[in-house]
Structure 1
């Protein structure tokens, strides 16, 4: 009986070691909470300060060649950099607590799988910007970010894949509801990230 229990423990330990080597387990729930908060603040500034609220695909309150659009792009980049920087910081801290390297082969595989949909999304967003199709900016950021997360979920927690499906679904819905696209963007990048972060923190970090 004891030998059987020892074998079961050995198998469980081997399985745990294999999972650690094949999946990036240093993602922190706090990163999601902060990223969601940044996104909500960014969406509020975009709508209240810059009055960005497209009603149709090519009809927006901001002209495609205006200075306000440049400021809006800068705002988006600031939110992106803050969210990325926070994710890197908390991933490093969590990896350090686990006695692991944050930048390892699994992390590289995760990022390489995210890079393809993200790069494709950037190219399409540039096309939309230069052609004045500002109403599609929010939907397509959700769609390609969702695809990136879905790919990344193969190399980390399964909840990341679920979050990706949420983002993708909101993006597809917002294509048909352009006048609500900013609200759906805030729900996806803001509220969904915060809920995901709280859940991840309570499940894996406490």
Structure 2
């Protein structure tokens, strides 16, 4: 009898892991999701304060809204939301790059290869399209639809890119799309849904991913 009865099974598992590494980007850190969620919540709180200071309710503007008087903060809605979105995006990207690069280095994996480039391309197509669409909404003054639109296009980007990474990303994308679809019918709750989608869901997702794939590694 062979002294290594499980060797063929171990070899098959090694082959499976190797094929997974070459076909899917599995180095994304759950902590990057937590970081992105925290920055998104900060951005949502800043937007809430901006709306309240401008005399609106704390949840979101009407479907079509351009103020007739200057905002007390001295920033137009377009200027403020671009700065706010830039802050959230910069924070999310910084935390994502830091934690993912750190995890890849620990596991001895390449962070920039053909697989990563394909993943980013499939993420970028819906994101760029959604960004242009949201700029058009800003241009025409439909601020109330911007939040739901960002959720929908971001969810589409996650679904589109999930084929190159973990299946969990696919389900996160579906949740983002669902929240965005709800938001287009309940305009006044757009900011709250945005905070749930980009903030709370990212934090919950990140913690689950960390516990599932990274804890103890």
Which TM-score band applies after superposition, normalised by the shorter structure?
over 0.9
Match of 2:201 among 174, 192, 200: 192
Q: Is 1:68 aligned to residue 57 of structure 2?
A: no
Q: Tell me the alpha carbon deviations over residues 16-69 of structure 1, each in whole angstroms, 9 at most, x when there is no partner.
A: 100011111111111111111111111011011343743432136698x98332
Q: In structure 1, what is the Cα distance between the partners aligned to 2:138 and 2:38?
A: 25
Report the equivalent of 2:15: 14
Report the equivalent of 1:205: 214
Q: In structure 2, what is the Cα distance between the partners aligned to 1:62 and 1:8?
A: 71
Query: 5+ residue gaps in structure 1?
Result: none
Q: Is the 1:36–1:190 Cα contact (8 Å) retained in structure 2?
A: yes
Report the equivalent of 2:44: 43
Query: 5+ residue gaps in structure 2?
Result: none
Q: Tell me the alpha carbon deviations over residues 93-143 of structure 1, each in whole angstroms, 9 at most, x when there is no partner.
A: 111011011111111111010011011101101110110011100000000
TM-score (norm 2): 0.88
Structure ID, larger Rg: 2
1:18-29 counterparts in 2 under 5 A? 18-29=19-30
Q: In structure 2, what is the Cα distance between the partners aligned to 1:127 and 1:59?
A: 14
CA RMSD of aligned residues (A): 2.1
Report the equivalent of 1:180: 189
Higher helix share: 1
Alignment CA distance shift 1:194-1:135 (3 Å): same
1:145-184 counterparts in 2 under 5 A? 145-184=154-193
Report the equivalent of 1:90: 99
Report the equivalent of 2:141: 132
Q: Tell me the alpha carbon deviations over residues 177-200 of structure 1, each in whole angstroms, 9 at most, x when there is no partner.
A: 111111010000000000001101
Report the equivalent of 2:109: 100
Match of 2:65 among 41, 55, 59: 59
TM-score (norm 1): 0.93
Q: In structure 2, what is the Cα distance between the partners aligned to 1:101 and 1:6?
A: 28
Q: How many residues align?
A: 206
